[in-house]
Structure 1
Amino acid sequence: MRRICVILLAFTSIGLLPAAVFGGDIVHADNHAPRQPGCSNNFVLVKVQTWINNSEDNEFVGVGARFGTPMESKAKHANRTKVSIMDPPDCCSPPKEAVAGDVLLVHRGNCKFTTKAKIAEAAGASAILIINNRKELYKMVCDQNETDLNIGIPAVILPSDAGESLKRSLQSGVRVAVQLYSPDRPLVDTAEVFLWLMAIGTILCGSYWSAWSSREASIEYEKLLKDAPGNFHEIDNAGSTSNIVDINTTSAVLFIVIASCFIVLLYKFMSSWFVGILVVLFCIGGVEGLQTCLVALFSRWFKRAGQSFIDVPILGTVSYLTLAVSPFCIIFAVIWAVHRHVSFAWVGQDILGIALIITVLQIVHVPNLKVGTVLLSCAFAYDIFWVFVSKALFHESVMIVVARGDKSGEDGIPMLLKIPRMFDPWGGYSIIGFGDILLPGLVIAFALRCDWAARRKLRDGYFLWAMLAYGAGLLLTYVALNLMDGHGQPALLYIVPFTLVTLLALGKKRGELPDLWSKGEPRRSCPHAQDCSVALVSPTKS
């Protein structure tokens, strides 16, 4: 029962934040505005460092326009300049007061971005800061029919909350100055490299544990057959009590349907109390996952404690080793939950998340390639729909809104692995959803169980090539993320085709696809009894 709870918690977590790798919050608005002379700048994030009465204050982030002069890349080359509120606020007509040399703070709307920039430049402003009407950053472009685009000042758009904060400071009568610059990001993000290795390592651990458990169960089952060669029915019934859970095509499709309902629910009711519920669910699943992993590890050294059991109210029969490990796991999760806002809390979140994923990979089995294909295909469509297609229905990407934790007061939700960008001047985190690891991991673990059951060598099997395909798909995801100006990318868009096509193509080439598709793990005949009607690799029933 406890293991079933872990599975439900893990898959609920995936439903709340399925597989996707996210970038920035920049809204695309240049689909029908190609580059042209005077409007060909690269879109760059801009640091807006503020000073209040000559004291350093908040730092905001904006995005530079396609037009205007390029931004300085180093803070030491950027000037500190006084900020003034434009009058009229929309900057669609010349200012009523002198603004020579100032940075103008203006509101979006009533005229084109290029019109505002031209008016500000004509008034002698050194730059223009435009307050967006939403919290997102917006890509300011030019109209296709614009010809006079020789704008000689930088233009930056700020999210509504940052712009309004600056405006309030100015209206209070204090002197506000800003420094605008756009530091270059490193070509290779080390956080993404470590996150890639983390995902690969998690699947490796979960797959080998799953295959090892199946082999141990098979050996134990064959020993039972040898000791009692005539009691096949009783032995088979005993084997069916295993904690391993096989999923089928119906449950694979149903999971995607339920996940869709969860993500809509979270999108509609996102709030601090809702995130609090998610934190509790994540901690419960993380405790069970961490406890299972530690018990399996320590039982190698403390076999007697691992094989001695006691009845505990509510929990049932548990080992002494489990009782010894559980308090540590609970305390670890509680400490993380209480201090999850500190800078190093990502370490605890990743430990709990990885333990949960590895445990589910060991417990849940994909019985054949047919079920694996249905599961990944549904997840593939689901991921694309909620990242891209949902914009047409909800006017924003539901997946990205959920991942950011909008309206929750939290920096995202906990159902993901993340690593801080320590060498990136922009900071932030590189993140990956549980589904990016767990869903492909179920199919990859199936491939390893097949290889071990058939006694294939590593190069002659399916696991090695499935792992390489997964790694290539995830790597392509990060490449696409960087090429798409930080626009969110669904990781399964790249991972699923790489992984599935590799397995299907190899199976077809080797003539083993029909068996992989329907039978799954190869069956071995019973070597210990004559006329044996039982053939198996693991004691579980499909």
Structure 2
Amino acid sequence: MEPLWKLLYLLEPASLSLITTAVAVTFASACRALAHGKEMERNRTSLKRHYVGPVPSPHDTPCYHRLGLFTLLLLVPLCCYIKSQLGLMDPFVSRCCSKSFTRTQGILLLLCVGIVCAWLVSGHWLLNNVLGISICIAFVSHVRLPNIKICSLLLICLFVYDVFWVFFSEMFFGENVMVTVATQKASNPVHTVANSLSLPGLQLITKKLELPVKLVFPRNLMDAIFTSSDTMDYMMLGLGDMAIPGMLLALVLCFDHQKSREVASSVDASSSSRGQRYIYYAVSGYAIGLVSALAAGILTRSPQPALLYLVPLTLGPVVFLSWTRNELGELWEGPGSGSSDKVHFLDV
């Protein structure tokens, strides 16, 4: 057990950057999920029940050709929002396969491809984080949970999963499987191809890649912004530790949106009920849980399963608060159940 003064490490730039980025990405994922639900309502292109594949593991190796698509899914809605706010025009440049293709989309496509190519060549941690954030936001906004019942089951199962592989996997497999998987790097296919073809500039291409399944921040953050080295010591947080709580945040944010519409349309609704939003408690719980996980890692000098702290501190306040407000049944069955103007959800 380390002395308590070492908790001052939480005030280092790397720790503050990790906490701020994770909280911002999780909240942004929930906001994007709400916006995506509104878009589906307006366009009438969503189905009430749509079965998707199993939730991908945060440790699955991503396909390199899909990384640009995830980044594009992040940047296109952002640019559309900016255009709508500023009243900018975006002329069509072509129509391909009966789909409109605008100038902004073309520029963003080139930008996304450039980001992926730069990451494949340099392996820089900043580009890795950009891709990871894009994957997280795209995942949360498109794969959504229908109610708190399914969400609780998923969070509890992943809670047990995370605790087992971090604390008990060494007893069965002789090593900490979660830490081994999280810290190992993948071979760079670009370097492999360039080496086999004896192409020039081989020394400029990194041999190993940090896959964008986690956020990484060098502990010596200031010196590492413009450089990237295999010998750097990193702080890291898996995408699952943002995406899974982000799905809960998306659920309660949609519930808050529905309740605010009901309050706005109700004649006898009190104005004080407008400010009672579950999302504030969920985001605060996520931030406290993340700080607790980092603090526990510093004091014990051992890896910690982040979901051990994130699940109770995000799910707990939401369930307790909804129970005190007599809204647990409604949240348990799903936002908008039995309502004609409900937000459409994807059943996982």
The TM-score normalised by the length of structure 1 is: 0.50
Instruction: Pick the structure with greater CA Rg.
Output: 1
Aligned position for 1:201: 24
Indicate if the aligned counterparts of 2:282 and 2:317 stay in contact, CA closer than 8 A: yes
Find 2:307's aligned residue among 485, 492, 500: 492
Aligned position for 2:96: 311
Note if 1:385 corresponds to 2:168: no
Superposition RMSD in Å: 3.4
Indicate if the aligned counterparts of 1:311 and 1:318 stay in contact, CA closer than 8 A: yes
Q: Separation in 2 of the partners of 1:500 and 1:247?
A: 25
Q: Separation in 1 of the partners of 2:222 and 2:150?
A: 41
Aligned position for 1:242: 46
Q: What are the equivalent positions in structure 2 for 1:93-492 lying under 5 Å apart? A: 187-188=9-10, 189-218=12-41, 220=42, 239=44, 241-242=45-46, 255=55, 259=57, 278=61, 281=63, 283-300=64-81, 301=83, 305=90, 310-312=95-97, 317=99, 319-320=101-102, 321-340=104-123, 345-405=124-184, 410=208, 413-422=211-220, 428-455=233-260, 459-485=275-301, 487-492=302-307
TM superposition shift of 1:306:
7.7
Kindly tell me the number of residue pairs found equivalent between the two proteins. 302
Distance 1:207 1:244, change over 3 A: farther
Aligned position for 1:159: none
TM superposition shift of 1:289:
1.9
Distance 1:368 1:43, change over 3 A: closer
Note if 1:521 corresponds to 2:335: yes
TM superposition shift of 1:360:
1.8
Indicate if the aligned counterparts of 1:388 and 1:397 stay in contact, CA closer than 8 A: yes
Deviations 1:160-185, CA, capped at 9 Å, x for gaps: xxxxxxxxxxxxxxxxxxxxxxxx99
Distance 1:537 1:481, change over 3 A: same
Amino acid at match of 2:290: L
Distance 1:435 1:540, change over 3 A: closer
Deviations 1:118-144, CA, capped at 9 Å, x for gaps: xxxxxxxxxxxxxxxxxxxxxxxxxxx
Q: Separation in 1 of the partners of 2:77 and 2:246?
A: 20
Indicate if the aligned counterparts of 2:2 and 2:298 stay in contact, CA closer than 8 A: no
Indicate if the aligned counterparts of 1:376 and 1:496 stay in contact, CA closer than 8 A: yes
Distance 1:43 1:448, change over 3 A: closer
Distance 1:296 1:472, change over 3 A: same
SS of the aligned residue for 2:115 comes to: helix
Q: Separation in 2 of the partners of 1:501 and 1:467?
A: 12
Q: Separation in 2 of the partners of 1:505 and 1:247?
A: 30
Amino acid at match of 2:21: M
Distance 1:43 1:516, change over 3 A: closer
Aligned position for 1:227: none
Indicate if the aligned counterparts of 2:146 and 2:346 stay in contact, CA closer than 8 A: no
TM superposition shift of 1:324:
3.3
More deviation, 428-437/400-409: 400-409
Identical aligned residues as a percent? 25
Aligned position for 1:506: 321
Deviations 1:201-228, CA, capped at 9 Å, x for gaps: 111212122223323544x37xxxxxxx
Indicate if the aligned counterparts of 1:419 and 1:431 stay in contact, CA closer than 8 A: yes
Q: Separation in 1 of the partners of 2:40 and 2:157?
A: 31
Q: Separation in 2 of the partners of 1:512 and 1:429?
A: 43
Indicate if the aligned counterparts of 1:386 and 1:399 stay in contact, CA closer than 8 A: yes
Distance 1:379 1:244, change over 3 A: farther
Indicate if the aligned counterparts of 1:243 and 1:363 stay in contact, CA closer than 8 A: no
Distance 1:419 1:407, change over 3 A: closer
Q: Separation in 1 of the partners of 2:182 and 2:296?
A: 19
Aligned position for 2:191: none
Q: Separation in 2 of the partners of 1:424 and 1:482?
A: 21
The structure carrying a bigger strand percent of its residues is 1
Q: Separation in 1 of the partners of 2:135 and 2:75?
A: 12
Q: Which runs of 5+ in 1 are unaligned?
A: 1-41, 45-183, 222-238, 267-277, 526-534
Amino acid at match of 2:37: S
Q: Separation in 2 of the partners of 1:460 and 1:539?
A: 23
Indicate if the aligned counterparts of 2:23 and 2:287 stay in contact, CA closer than 8 A: yes
Amino acid at match of 2:27: L
SS of the aligned residue for 1:417 comes to: strand
Q: Separation in 2 of the partners of 1:297 and 1:406?
A: 31
Distance 1:319 1:244, change over 3 A: farther
Indicate if the aligned counterparts of 1:245 and 1:365 stay in contact, CA closer than 8 A: no
SS of the aligned residue for 2:9 comes to: coil
The TM-score normalised by the length of structure 2 is: 0.75
Amino acid at match of 1:405: Q
SS of the aligned residue for 2:320 comes to: helix
